[in-house]
Structures are given as C-alpha cells and as structure tokens.
Structure 1
Amino acid sequence: MSNIGYHLLLSIFWLIISYYSSYYEVYRYSKGIEIFGKLLKQFFFISLITFAYVGYKYKYVTTDEVGFYIFSSFILVGLLKYSIFFTLKKYRILYGGNHRNVIIIGNGKSVDELKDFFTTNPDYGYNLSHIFDLKKEKKKEILDSKNFVIQNKVDEIYISINTLTHREINSFIHFADNNLKTIKFLPDSKNTFLRNLAVEYYGYIPIIALRTIPLDKEVNKRIKRFFDVVFSLIIIIIILSWLTPLIALLIKLESRGPIFFKQKRNGLNYEEFYCFKFRSMHLNPIADLEQVQKNDPRITKIGKFIRKTSIDELPQFFNVLLGDMSVVGPRPHMVSHTEMYAKSVDKFMVRHFIKPGITGLAQTNGFRGEVETEKDIINRVKYDIFYLENWSLLLDIKIIIATIINAIKGEKKAY
C-alpha cells in the first residue's frame, strides 16, 4: 500500500477520527485496557476507510492482503503506543522524571486514600510535596499552602471539598487560575462512592446530573445485549449441551429433588425474576433465607464440586437469553437479603439501574459468595457502582477473562 493519495487521505481521516475518539488522550493515570479500547475504535474506522478506498481504486487487491495490512498496522501502532506508555512508567520509577509536584489540602478519608495512591504508585509520576490538613490554624495554613505552591513549583492542587467553605474554594480556584496551576477536587463526605458527574444543557442553563450510566444510551444497550446473546448461545451450545445431562445424572444419583434450583432475585429496576442454578444442596426449607456458609451441611458432594468450580452458575446463561440478566453486571441477591441491605447499606439500590450479571467486577476483586462482614457488602456495592458508571464492552471482556482464570485457580470463598 504505497499509494500517496491513500496515505494523504488516511492521514486526514486519522486526525479527524482521533479527535472524536480521544485517541491521543492517554494520561499517566490511564489504564492499559483504556488504551486498547482507543486502538480498537481508531482502527475500526481506519479499516472501513481502507476497504472503501481499495474497493474503489483497485480491482486486483484481495481482501486478505488488505486485512493483513490493517492487522500488521494495528500491531505495530499498538506496540509503539504501549512502548511509550510503559517506558514512561519505568522512567518515572527509575529516574524520577516526567513527574508532577502535587499538594493536598484538607483532611478526611478521601485525603488519606489519595495520599496512599500517590505514595504507592510511583509509576504514575506524582510527587506528593506536602499535605495541609487545616486542622490547627486554618487561615494561616491556607495562606501557607498558597505560598508553598509558588515557592516549590507545585503543578497540581488537590482539595477536599468537605474541609473548605464555598468562599475558600472559590479563593483557591481564583489563585490556581491566576498562577497557571491545575486544581482538582476530592468529593465530600456525602459522596462515599465516587460520582461520575455530567453536565447537560437545557437551552443555555447548565444542569448537573449526579451520575452518567453508559448503558442508558440505546446504542450501548444494543451492543451489550448482542454480546450477551451471542456469548450465551456459545456457552449453551458448546458446553451446556453435553454438561447438563452429566451434571443432572450426578445430582440425581446423590440426592432426591429437581436438577435445577430456581430462586427469586431482584433485577433491573428492582423487578423480581427467577434465577436458575444447578441444585447443589439437599432440599431444605431455608434455602431462600440463609446464604451458604463454609462447610454448610446442606451442600451435597457434587454440589461442593460444582460450587467450587462455579459450574452451578452456568444455567444462568438461560436467564441471559430470557433478558433477565446479563453476562456481566452486579450479582443479584435473594429477595430477603436485598430488602435487608436496601435499608442498611447506603447506595445499595443503585445497583438495580442495570441488569444483574452472572459475574461482576466485585466478584473478580474478591467480593463474591457469603457476606461475612459489613465491609464485604459495602465494597461489593462500591465496585458495582463503579462498573455501572464506567461500563464498556472491553471491561466486560476483562471481567469474563478474570472470572475464567479465578474459576480455574479456585477461589477462597467459592463454597
């Protein structure tokens, strides 16, 4: 592909596409999977342009040749982009270069978490110069912090909204603007979980929405649904078609009762549905009331195995086909527990803005199975809210891969 016209056209479209896809918006805090998503988006449109140009201009160039050209370009550009990204990370760790001097103003849990982030992630290149906690002489510390910014060439100021008054915050914004400093804010104590705020305009009136949910967009709903249906059909045809009779036989040989266990769960918009599983317990009257615990006498021998390997969850792919669940999403709880947590756990109901999943971000981060402490359910909700506010198809794929790896390795709370 040495045609000058093609490369000129490609260069123009590359710049236009990269502007709208934010291809070059890779920051020190960006994740590897985000970069991969930008690469896929960029090359999807570049592929369309290439095939269109070749189809119009050349008659004897085969699809395989064009495909190889695009694939090899994708690999080379990806290697270059990732090389720069990871080289900068190493450079920051080994030589302390490409860093940003930062200070934190305020106190509280969010300040402590940000301090830990800066100190435990040197590859991001943030040099935490000082923390002004404003606990003693507030006015003096505020003045000292501004002087410190000027004298020590601080690049970024992080402020805890909870610690300052509205007037003091405005004063810092004015100071930062007039001294060419970046200012960022930590959410206040009421925002226990990070909000993904969005600004919408009603005419010329700015309206702030508390969070954006990508799956509220129709195009994202259709993409996720298409993926769910295709993935579920693959699992049902390739795995469940032969595994179900085998598991059914083993369940029947050990204990009386049905092969499948169905239980009411709360799903999208808090609506109830029946969640399917392979039966892993002896028939008992408290199956809908008490979670399974370690060494639970209700669990059968085959049940112990299918729970450990997560095989008992596989019938939920039928729930996905029916539209009650998604492959990835917040795990649904039994109705009695949902009612309990809704009253005691802040933001718990937010999980029901999207469909529940067979697996989820919380489960791949160690919060699956029995809820032993309040911390377990709080962290589960925290991950679920992060997922619904930051959904992408790539994130779903990443969670699925992590789930498969965890199932093979075996999980501590898989009982």
Structure 2
Amino acid sequence: MDYKKGRYSSLIKPIFGFIDLVIINMAVFYFEINLKNVYVFCLYISVSWIIIAVKNHFYEVQRHTRLIQIAPLLFRQIVFFTIALYAFIGFFKQPSVSRLSLGNYLLLVFILICVFKFLTIFLLKKYRTVLRGNIRKVIVIGNNDKARQLIKTFNKRLDFGYKFEAEFSLKDKEFSLENCFDYVIENNIDEIYFSVAELSNKQINKLIDFADNNLRELKFIPDNKDIYSKKLKYEYYDYIPILSLRAIPLQESVNKFVKRLFDILFSLFIIVFILSWLTPILAIFIKLESKGPVFFKQSRNGFNYQEFDCYKFRSMTPNKNAHLLQATKGDLRITKIGALIRKTSIDELPQFFNVLFGDMSVVGPRPHMVSHTNMYAQRIDKFMVRHFVKPGITGLAQVSGFRGEVETDKDIINRVKYDIFYIENWSLLLDVKIAVQTLTNAIKGEEKAY
C-alpha cells in the first residue's frame, strides 16, 4: 500500500484560466470604451468569464480531446461572454459606453483567446511527443479488435501522453488476474484498460475491487455486455469509445480550485477569529490538569495514501497507546478538560492548520490512524477509495451518524459507503451543508462524541 499516484500537473488548467483572465482584462485598456469605473468593469467581466467557463466546461479539455471538439467550446464561451458584456450596460446603467469599442474589444479578445487556446494545446502535445513529459503508464487486458486498436492508438498517438506497457490476453494459458495485479504494482501502472467481452462478471468484479483498493484508475472498452449501474464517464480516444468506471468531480481542476479556495477562506476565518483567542485559554487548562504538550500530533493517511501529521488539542494524559487505540466510552486516559472539548469537538479545531497547509480539507472522508488504515485496507472492501481525495475535518459519514469509535465492521463499512457517495457526488453546496450540519451537531451534542 505504498503506491503514490503519479498525476499530471494539476496547475495546468488553473494557469490557463489565469492567463485568459489577464487577456480579457488587459484588452480593456486598448480601447476607449467610456467606462465610469474601469475596475468595476474588470471585476464584472472576470466573474462572468469564470462562471461561464465553469458552466461551459471550457477548461475541461483532456489529452485525447480532438481539435474539432474545441471549436464549439470557444464559440459558446464567446457568445455567452458577449451577452454578459452587453448586459453590463443596462445592469450598471452606463449608456455612454461605446458599443463600437466594445465590439472591437470582443473581437480582439476572441482572436487572442483562440490563438492562446490552440497554441497551448499544440505545445502540450509537442511536450508529450518530443520530451515524453506528462505521461501516464497503461496496460490493456484483452486480445480482440478493439483492444488492438486501442493499443495501436496508444503507440501511434504519442501526443495523448500514454505509455503502453503490456497487454494481457485471456487466450494465454498462463494468464491470471493475480499475475496482472502483480505487474501493475511492480511497474507503477497508472491506468488499466480491459475489454468487457473477454472477462466474466466474477473477473470484472475482482478487477474493480483491485483498482479501488490500490488507487488505480480502471477504464473499459464497452461492447454489448451488461454494464454495471455506476456513474460512468463516456470519452473518445481518437475514434475508440472508452468508459471510465468512476467519475470523481474533484479531479477536475475547476472543482479542485473552488474547493481549495473554500478551504483556505474557511480555515483562515476559524484560525483568526476563534483559534487566536481560544488556544491560549485552552492551553492554560490543559497544562494545569496534566503535564504534556498542548497539541497532540498523530500520523494519519491522506490523499493518495500519503502520511501527514494531524493536529488536535491534547485531550488525554500522555500514554504509549495513543497512536494505537481509539478512545472508548469511559476511557480513563481522557482528562476532565479533554472530555469537555471532545464532547463539543473543539479538540479537532487545530486541524484547520492542516487544512491551510493543504494536507486536509474542511469536508472529506475522516482520516484514520495509520495502524487502523492498514488494517481496514485489508479487511474492508473499497476502503482505499477514500484516499482519492483529501481527508476532512468532518464528512458526510460523520453527520450521518457514523463518527467516533468503530465498534463493529458494520460501522466502518457504512462509513466507507457514505465517503464513496461523497467522492462521486461532490459539490460546494454539499460541503456547505455538511459544515452547517456539523456545527449544529456540535452544539446539540452527539452520542459518540467521547
């Protein structure tokens, strides 16, 4: 379980978005538009551009997206941006704005955005083709026409950035999924492609479980076989149809940026307005009751299974089993002040520093102690899926009644189900709803908050 997923740069799309914003703002100063307040106008067009881009999926151009598919994106983006731009005149009551200058501005923006869009795509393709950067290692399971076409595409279209490593044929007498799994682990394969037609339902389920539990992306070449009721993502690699088994919204750069911005603003608010005065007060009470540090640090597994130091206010007397045993009801290790801050979840507040540093999110699957994570990874099916996103201070499972001590396997199984639902259905509104519900539960008090 020491696999670290080799992702392509998550900064590429945000950087493209930033440059587009620079273009649409700098172009304003080349024309006499007769604006009352140019800075209000720049703020307006920047917000409008971002909202339209998100709705239009303007920056969701994948490595295998064809150029012909980009033209409609550009057209829709400019059309809706034009509507928003001329709406500014009526909305802010600025009849003196020059319509002709505004039209010239739009024409320049359209030309610059188009040139930049196609130029960056061209440069990225050259980067993958010539320098072999931004590469994803893949294998294919299957030996039929579509599988061979896909392999041919991987080897021919170097600009896609896929490095084909091996083909596993079920017609080979020595074939076994176990050998395939060993190869994936030993060679750090990023993505697994398989032909549905050649695998039995049992083998497909086994392959799905392996991919989930080892943080590999699993994609399959569809045919007329029954497809499971999953949230599938349909894509084309050249002319080969591909289905992605699990669509994760937070793998999209725009969603990732929105969530990170929410995390930073929320954590800064808590740190500045609550922890700044609460920490010294709690430090005095913690120190008076027992010797030891004010903060408790514990290694936990986060995004891509990487370990990080998770911080809390110390609520127990210092003990050797703190990193091995969960707190239980009536635990003698818990101090008096510790019982109070645990009951109200105040002991978790230092984790907002983890959020600010980027190890955690405000909302996400709760991280477990390393020893427990290793145990659950072996015992609980799909437990590792939780590590496709950053862990959270609170989560959907916690506000749904599955927080605190894991008394039976049923507790952790249900927690995993809620976490997977959250991962596959993330939205900023869902994060806000969970954060509000967490605050409400903390005020009311919870049965398993001990």
What range is the shorter-chain TM-score in? 0.5 to 0.7
Could you say what secondary structure the match of 1:207 adopts?
A: strand
Residues 311-330 of structure 1 mapped to structure 2, 5 A cutoff: 311-330=346-365
Equivalent residue, structure 2, for 1:114: none
Q: Unaligned 5+ residue runs, structure 2?
A: 1-51, 57-79, 97-200, 202-225
Could you say what secondary structure the match of 1:253 adopts?
A: helix
Equivalent residue, structure 2, for 1:310: 345
The CA deviation string for residues 204-252 of structure 1, in whole angstroms up to 9 with x for no partner, is 2211111000110111111111110011000000100100001111100
Could you say what secondary structure the match of 2:402 adopts?
A: coil
Give 1:55 shift.
5.8
Give 1:311 shift.
0.1
The percentage of counterpart residues that share the same residue type is: 68
The separation in 2 between residues aligned to 1:48 and 1:227, in whole angstroms, is 26
Q: Is the 8 A contact 2:377 2:383 kept in 1?
A: yes
Residues 94-113 of structure 1 mapped to structure 2, 5 A cutoff: none
The one-letter amino acid paired with 2:277 is: W
Match of 1:287 among 308, 322, 325: 322
Matching of residue 52 in structure 1 with residue 94 in structure 2? no
Could you say what secondary structure the match of 2:332 adopts?
A: coil
Could you say what secondary structure the match of 2:431 adopts?
A: helix
Matching of residue 222 in structure 1 with residue 253 in structure 2? no
* CA shift in 2, pair 1:57/1:366, >3 Å: same
The separation in 1 between residues aligned to 2:245 and 2:360, in whole angstroms, is 25
The separation in 1 between residues aligned to 2:392 and 2:82, in whole angstroms, is 33
Residues 262-411 of structure 1 mapped to structure 2, 5 A cutoff: 262-411=297-446
The separation in 2 between residues aligned to 1:216 and 1:312, in whole angstroms, is 31
Give 1:52 shift.
1.2
The one-letter amino acid paired with 1:54 is: G
Give 1:58 shift.
3.1
Matching of residue 233 in structure 1 with residue 268 in structure 2? yes
The separation in 2 between residues aligned to 1:363 and 1:401, in whole angstroms, is 12
Q: Unaligned 5+ residue runs, structure 1?
A: 1-16, 22-43, 61-161, 163-185, 189-193
Equivalent residue, structure 2, for 1:249: 284
Give 1:195 shift.
3.2
* CA shift in 2, pair 1:47/1:410, >3 Å: farther
* CA shift in 2, pair 1:49/1:411, >3 Å: farther
State the TM-score, normalizing by the size of structure 1. Answer: 0.57
Give 1:59 shift.
5.2
The one-letter amino acid paired with 1:291 is: Q
The one-letter amino acid paired with 1:290 is: L
The CA deviation string for residues 269-305 of structure 1, in whole angstroms up to 9 with x for no partner, is 0000000000000011000000000010000000000
Give 1:54 shift.
1.9
Give 1:404 shift.
0.4
The separation in 2 between residues aligned to 1:319 and 1:370, in whole angstroms, is 22
Q: Is the 8 A contact 2:292 2:318 kept in 1?
A: yes
Give 1:187 shift.
8.0
